[in-house]
Amino acid sequence: MTTSATPRTALVTGGTSGIGLAVVKTLAARGLRVFLCARSRENVDAVVKELRDQGLQVAGCEGDVRSRESVERVVRAAVDRFGPLSVLVNNAGRSGGGVTARIPDELWYDVIDTNLNSAFLVTREALTTGGLERAGVDGRIISIASTGGKQGVPLGAPYSASKAGLIGFTKALAKELAPTGVTVNAVCPGYVETPMAVRVRQAYAATWDTTEEDVLSRFNDKIPLGRYSTPEEVAALVGHLAGDEAGSITAQALNVCGGLGIY
C-alpha cells in the first residue's frame, strides 16, 4: 500500500478507545507502524500490549493534546520509536454542550481546546518535528470531525463549533499542502456506538428528563439506516484515505453516518 520499501509510520491521537482504537487496529493491520497517545498511561500500556501480542507494530505514550509541551513530547517519542511520520490521524476529542445560555466558560474552552486547537498543535508538530511535510505522496493528514460540524447539533454548540472549525482547517491546509503531495481530509461520523456516545445519551436524557433508551430510540429514528455506525466502519474510511488508492482525494469532509448527513 506504500510507495516506499520501508513501512510507513502513523500517529493516532486518542487511540485507546472508540474510533481511535479502531483506527489504530485498521492501520496496523494494513502494515503501518502505529504510535498512539491518550491521557491515561494505563490505557495506553494496555492497548499497546494487547496489539503487540497480536503481532502488530504498535507503540505509544501518555499525552495531552491540549498542551503544546505534551504534543512536542508525543511527536518526538513517535519519531524516536518508528521514524518520520507519514500519516497523522487527529482523533482525540470530547463531547460537550447543553443549553447555550448556561454553558460555562470552562466547558466551551475545553471543547474547543480538545477538538480544534489540539488538531492545530499536533498537525504543526507532525509537519515539522514529525517530518510529515517531507512525506510527499505518502503523506496523509486525516482528522475525525463530525456531521455535527456541517449541520449543527441542538444543545451541542461547543461541539458543532469545534468540528466546523476542524473541517475548515482541513480544507485550508489541504490546499496549502497540495503542491507537496500530502493529502488532508476529514472523516465526519454521525452517531457512532462508542463510550462517548453513551455519555452523550446520558446528557440528553438528563436535559430532556427522559431515559437513555428513549434518547437512543429518538436518535435511531433520525438515521435513514436506522442504526448507529460502528467504530470499525469509520476506521475503514480512514484506512482507505491513508492508502495509495486515495492519493487524489484531498480537501474533503466525508461522511460515515448511515445517511444522517447529506452534504
Helix (H, G, I), strand (E, B) or coil at 250: coil
159 among known catalytic residues: yes
CA atoms within a 13 Å half-sphere pointing along the CA-CB vector of 153: 25
Beta strand residue intervals within 127-259, DSSP E:
140-144, 183-189, 253-256
Report how far Cα 62 is from the mean position of its chain's Cα atoms: 17
Identity of the residue numbered 100 = T
The pair phi, psi for residue 68, each rounded to 5°, is -60, -45
The C-alpha cell at 151 is 449541520
Task: Give the whole-angstrom CA distance, residue 64 versus residue 69.
Answer: 9
Task: Give the whole-angstrom CA distance, residue 135 versus residue 238.
Answer: 18
The pair phi, psi for residue 156, each rounded to 5°, is -135, 40
Burial 167-204 (b: 16+ CB within 10 A, else e): bebbbebbeebeeeebbbbbbbbbbbebebbeebbebb
Torsion angle of alpha carbons 83, 84, 88, 93, nearest 10°?
A: 60
**Of 109, 159, 191, 263, catalytic:** 159
The pair phi, psi for residue 33, each rounded to 5°, is -90, 120
Pinpoint the alpha helices (H) of 93-211. Answer: 105-112, 118-127, 148-151, 157-177, 195-208
Q: What residues act catalytically?
A: 159
